[in-house]
Amino acid sequence: MNKIMLIGNLGRDPEMSYLQDGTAITKFSLAVSRPTRNSSGERERETDWFNIVAWRQLAETCSQYLHKGSKVFIEGRLVQRKYTDKTGAERLAVEVSVTDMEMLTPKNQQPGAAPASVGGGNFDDDLGDLGDHPF
């Protein structure tokens, strides 16, 4: 079985394009943060980056509703792809091909929305925040 589930934040806006046969494809990066301890025992956060690829209708949905910083749940499978770079060297790319996506950023925190109201609990307090994330 090849299955991966991730919760993270988009590192850049999704980029949608179409294949020659008209199939929609959307690509974006996802930052997944996790707590760790350094050698002196202090709590830190590490971030893993994943290349995400969505296809067809899901690609169009991701392109329309997601943006840099959006928190999402991604379910999919790992795909390894060989390619040749500009220097002629053969490379291996590992991507997550999306089978399901759920937007976790509340509507009131989307761009252009009114500020969030005070008092609501955060559904993912145990995940923490990304701190000094690059987006």
Read off the pLDDT of residues 64-123 as tens digits, 9 standing for 90 and up: 999 999 999 999 999 999 999 999 999 999 999 999 999 998 876 766 544 333 333 333
Which residue do the tokens 């991604």 mark?
74
- Dump pLDDT digits (tens) for 43-59: 999 999 999 999 999 99
Decide if 130 is inside a domain.
no
In a domain, 35, yes or no: yes
Question: Do residues 4 and 75 lie in contact, with contact meaning Cβ atoms separated by under 8 Å?
Answer: yes
The CATH number of the domain where 43 resides is what? 2.40.50.140
Q: With 0-12 CB in 10 A as exposed, 13-18 as middle and 19+ as buried, what is 6?
A: middle
Element (H, E) at 63: helix 56-65
Q: For the chain, how many structural domains are there in total? A: 1
Q: Answer yes or no: is 57 within a domain.
A: yes
Look at residue 34 and tell me if it is in a domain. yes
Q: Which range marks the domain in which residue 58 is found?
A: 4-122
> Is 132 a domain residue?
no
Asked whether residue 135 is domain-assigned, the answer is no
- What pLDDT shows up at residue 123? 33
pLDDT the model gives residue 21: 97
Q: Is residue 134 part of a domain?
A: no
CA–CA separation, 24 vs 42, rounded Å?
A: 45
Is position 33 within any domain?
A: yes
